[in-house]
Amino acid sequence: ADHAGQYGVPLFFEPLNRYETNFVNNVEAALKFVALADSNNIRILCDLFHMNIEERDIAEALRRAGKMVGHVHLADSNRRAAGGGHTDFGPIARALREIGYEGFVSAEAMAGPGRAEEAARMTMEAFGKYFA
């Protein structure tokens, strides 16, 4: 965190779901872990795919994280582009506005063979609908 801070950038820490690690799996655990580092330069990268598995309520978890949210990965419940699964992005977008999040929301989704253009279109539609 200190090294990243020398360059004026934060260090992002991303909780992953239980199928990928048994270390830190949700926002609550990430907040505790980041607090142990005792640095003002660490933020949480909130990946909506992992949150769909680990959080009871994604929007509420984002509210709990508050100003600690440093970046958001947009993906649907099945790691497809937004709209390819069952995630309701409306409450998520509202929660980000409520906490005053002004950072980036980037797509991190699997397109599937021959579906890159469709995934890009779906992602851009979701950005326009929920995050514009």
List 14, 28, 55, 117, catalytic entry: 14
Query: Catalytic annotation on 54?
Result: no
Query: Catalytic annotation on 102?
Result: no
List 108, 117, 118, 125, catalytic entry: 108
Angstrom distance (rounded) from CA 53 to CA 55: 6
- Identify the burial level of 82 via C-beta atoms within 10 angstroms of its C-beta, where 0-12 means exposed, 13-18 middle and 19 or more buried: buried
Query: 80 vs 11, 28, 65, 90, 107, CA distance in Å?
Result: 26, 25, 24, 17, 10
Residues that are catalytic: 14, 108
